[in-house]
């Protein structure tokens, strides 16, 4: 699957794709329609991703979009990564976030902060077969991310980690985890350090899988670190600089979540548009009624506004320009759009929209997480307000 890079931000309209980007979108859509859609219902009922789909994601290069070619990746852009995330979410949000976290969080963190040896060892594996997960959240540290209590103790030739992580996406599938722990609780955020933990490390285990409202096939688990031994060379970046790694990695991750929410909204809209053209009342398709047309128009408007925000943030990131405010705006607005559009789609389906025989109720359930993970809506508003008030 080709993932050639696009042209510079200044030369491309926000929603205008290069020929290479169009081809990439078409290839991901073909995969989503041909391979993912037939499995969505079964994955939803099983609350588990299809193993064959996971394998195909690796084979098609969807798990190494930005990863450098020297490590087996495509060496492409975040823009192509969000195209993939958007197109998969248009069909299934669970597989979409699986691909998203692996690319925009884990691979991104390795690319920016990993030593040459760590990149060679782990990015190569993550490009071909091994899934990544990003473990920051805890029971006591959600929006207050640096209130974490997981402790790392220097044991001379290794660190020993003790604690519990919650809400970890890809927890069941992942074999490589970026785990944040503090080496000195009294140092506050300056004690936080990022560690690379393999699933087979002594003292590491995956706990329960959460029973969720939406994205049910995506595994969201707890991680248990009970005297987990981590080699000294598995510190990602510098000791005590984990706070910087988490903040800057999540900035890109928010663009990925924006793309996921965009895909959910697009999928719900397309289902509603098709249904209103088929459903007849009073002797004609309900799409003929102006009231219905206006609702579809409002949905299309919100989706296009969301696409502009998400694509703008991705183009800025690829151009090496500041994108923090734009990423926060994209994440905030897209979560609102996905929830509103999928809710309206349910109403347009009428009673059928409320039952699981039709797809739109799932889009709505999947949309709700967008206002919560990778920074709640209130935290995005705080970021935007801070930057607006500072004049940046």
Q: What is the CATH number of the domain that holds 214?
A: 2.40.110.10
Count how many residues are written for the chain: 392
Do 87 and 167 fall into the same domain? Answer: no
pLDDT on residue 11 = 42
User: Which of the listed residues 73, 106, 131 is the one where a domain comes to its end?
Assistant: 131
State the Rg of the chain over Cα: 21
> What is the predicted pLDDT for the residue at 144?
84
Give the 3-state DSSP-derived string for the chain, with helices as H, strands as E and coil as C.
CCCCCCCCHHHCCCCCCCHHHHHHHHHHHHHHHHHHHHHHHHHHHHCCCCHHHHHHHHHCCCCCCCCCHHHCCCCCCHHHHHHHHHHHHCCCHHHHHHHHHHHHHHHHHHHHHCCHHHHHHHHHHHHHCCEEEEECCECCECCCHHHCCCEEEECCCEEEEEEEEEEEECCCCEEEEEEEEECCHHHHHHHEEEEEEECCCCCEEEEEECCCCCCCCCCEEEEEEEEEEEEHHHEECCCCCHHHHHHHHHHHHHHHHHHHHHHHHHHHHHHHHHHHHHCEECCEEHHHCHHHHHHHHHHHHHHHHHHHHHHHHHHHHHCCCCCHHHHHHHHHHHHHHHHHHHHHHHHHHHHHHHCCCCCHHHHHHHHHHHHCCCCCHHHHHHHHHHHHHHCC
In a domain, 267, yes or no: yes
Q: Is residue 55 part of a domain?
A: yes
Please give the model's pTM, rounded to 2 decimal places. Answer: 0.95
One domain, residues 286 and 381: yes
134: tokens are 């990003």
**In which band, very low, low, confident or very high, does the pLDDT at 5 lie, cut at 50, 70 and 90?**
very low
How large is the average pLDDT for residues 247-257? 96
Lowest mean pLDDT among 9-18, 292-301, 328-337: 9-18
pLDDT tier, 391 (very low <50, low <70, confident <90, very high otherwise): confident
The confidence score (pLDDT) of residue 4 equals: 44
pLDDT tens digits along 31-77: 999 999 999 999 999 999 999 999 999 999 999 999 999 999 999 99
Residue 354, domain member (yes or no)? yes
Position 173 pLDDT exceeds 60: yes
Structural domain includes residue 93: yes
Cα dist. 386→2, 309, 328 in Å?
Answer: 39, 19, 11
SS (H, E, C) 9-22: HHHCCCCCCCHHHH
- Average pLDDT value over all residues in the chain: 95
Identify which has the larger pLDDT, 351 or 2: 351
Tell me whether residue 87 is one of the annotated catalytic residues. Answer: no
- Asked whether the predicted pLDDT for residue 152 surpasses 50, the reply is yes
Query: Is the pLDDT assigned to residue 7 strictly greater than 90?
Result: no
| Residue 296: partners with Cβ closer than 8 Å, 6 or more residues away | 269, 272, 273, 276, 287, 348
Task: State the average pLDDT over residues 261-289.
Answer: 98
Q: Of 102, 131, 160, which marks where a domain is finished?
A: 131
Tens digit of each residue's pLDDT (9 = 90 or more) over 85-97: 999 999 999 999 9
Q: Please determine, for residue 8, whether its predicted confidence score (pLDDT) is greater than 50.
A: no
In the listed set 240, 258, 278, which residue is the last one of a domain according to the structure?
Answer: 240
- In this prediction, residue 392 carries a pLDDT of 67
Report the CATH number at residue 24.
Answer: 1.10.540.10
Q: Could you tell me the CATH number of the domain that includes residue 290?
A: 1.20.140.10
Q: Is the pLDDT of residue 6 over 50?
A: no
Range of the domain at 166: 133-240
Closest CA to 32 of 358, 378, 320, 266: 266
Q: Could you tell me which residues come within 8 angstroms of residue 275 by beta carbon, excluding any fewer than 6 positions away?
A: 348, 349, 352, 358
Taking the C-alpha atoms of residue 381 and residue 384, their distance in angstroms, rounded to an integer, is 5
Token pair of 60, please? 């098609």
Which neighbouring-strand residues pair with 169?
Answer: 220
Q: Specify whether 233 is located in the same domain as 249.
A: no
- CA 45, CA 278: separation in Å to the nearest integer? 28
pLDDT of 274 above 90? yes
pLDDT tens-place string over residues 321-347: 999 999 999 999 999 999 999 999 999
Asked whether residue 73 falls in the same domain as residue 178, the answer is: no
Question: Which of 154, 156, 171 has its CA nearest to residue 224?
Answer: 171
Asked whether residue 197 carries a pLDDT value surpassing 70, the answer given is: yes
Same structural domain for residues 72 and 179?
A: no
Per-residue pLDDT, averaged over 141-167, amounts to: 93
41 assigned to some structural domain: yes
Q: 249 and 374, same structural domain?
A: yes
Query: How far apart, in Å, do the first and last CA atoms of the chain sit?
Result: 39
Say yes or no: 228 and 255 in one domain.
no
Count of domains observed in the chain: 3
Residues 158 and 87 in one domain: no
- With a pLDDT cut of 90, the percent of the chain lying above it is 93
| Per-residue pLDDT band at 13 (split at 50, 70, 90) | low
CA separation, residue 128 to residues 21, 28, 54, 59, 115 (Å): 22, 18, 11, 7, 20
Whether the pLDDT of residue 279 is over 70: the answer is yes
């Amino acid at each position: 699957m080709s993932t050639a890079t696009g042209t510079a931000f200044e030369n491309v309209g926000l929603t205008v794709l290069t020929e290479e980007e169009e081809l990439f979108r078409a290839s991901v859509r073909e995969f989503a329609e041909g391979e993912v859609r037939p499995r969505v219902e079964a994955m939803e009922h099983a609350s588990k991703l299809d193993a064959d789909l996971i394998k195909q994601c690796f084979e098609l290069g969807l798990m190494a979009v930005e990863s450098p070619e020297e490590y087996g990746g495509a060496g492409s852009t975040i823009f192509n990564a969000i195209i993939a995330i958007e197109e998969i979410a248009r069909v299934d949000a669970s597989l979409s976030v699986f691909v998203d976290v692996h690319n925009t969080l884990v691979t991104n963190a390795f690319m920016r902060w990993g030593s040459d040896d760590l990149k060679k060892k782990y990015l190569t594996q993550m490009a071909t077969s091994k899934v990544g997960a990003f473990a920051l959240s805890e029971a006591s540290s959600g929006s207050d991310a640096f209130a974490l209590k997981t402790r790392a103790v220097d044991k001379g030739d290794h660190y020993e980690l003790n604690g519990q992580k919650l809400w970890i996406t890809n927890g069941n599938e992942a074999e490589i985890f970026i785990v944040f722990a503090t080496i000195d609780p009294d140092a506050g955020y300056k004690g936080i350090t990022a560690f690379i933990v393999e699933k087979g490390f002594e003292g590491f285990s995956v706990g329960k899988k959460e029973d969720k409202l939406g994205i049910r096939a995506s595994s969201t688990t707890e991680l248990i670190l009970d005297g987990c031994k981590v080699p000294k060379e598995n510190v990602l970046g510098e000791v005590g600089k984990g706070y910087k790694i988490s903040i800057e990695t999540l900035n890109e991750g928010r663009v990925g979540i924006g793309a996921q929410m965009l895909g959910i909204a697009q999928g719900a809209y397309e289902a509603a548009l098709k249904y209103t053209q088929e459903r007849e009342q009073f002797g004609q398709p309900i799409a003929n009624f102006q009231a219905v047309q206006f609702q579809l128009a409002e949905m299309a408007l919100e989706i296009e506004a969301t696409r502009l925000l998400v694509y703008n943030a991705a183009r800025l990131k690829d151009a090496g320009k500041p994108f923090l405010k734009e990423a926060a705006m994209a994440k905030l607005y897209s979560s609102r759009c996905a929830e509103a559009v999928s809710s309206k789609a349910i109403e347009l389906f009428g009673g059928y929209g409320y039952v699981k025989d039709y797809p739109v109720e799932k889009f709505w359930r999947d949309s709700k997480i967008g206002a919560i993970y990778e920074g709640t809506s209130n935290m995005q508003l705080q970021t935007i307000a801070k930057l607006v008030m500072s004049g940046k």
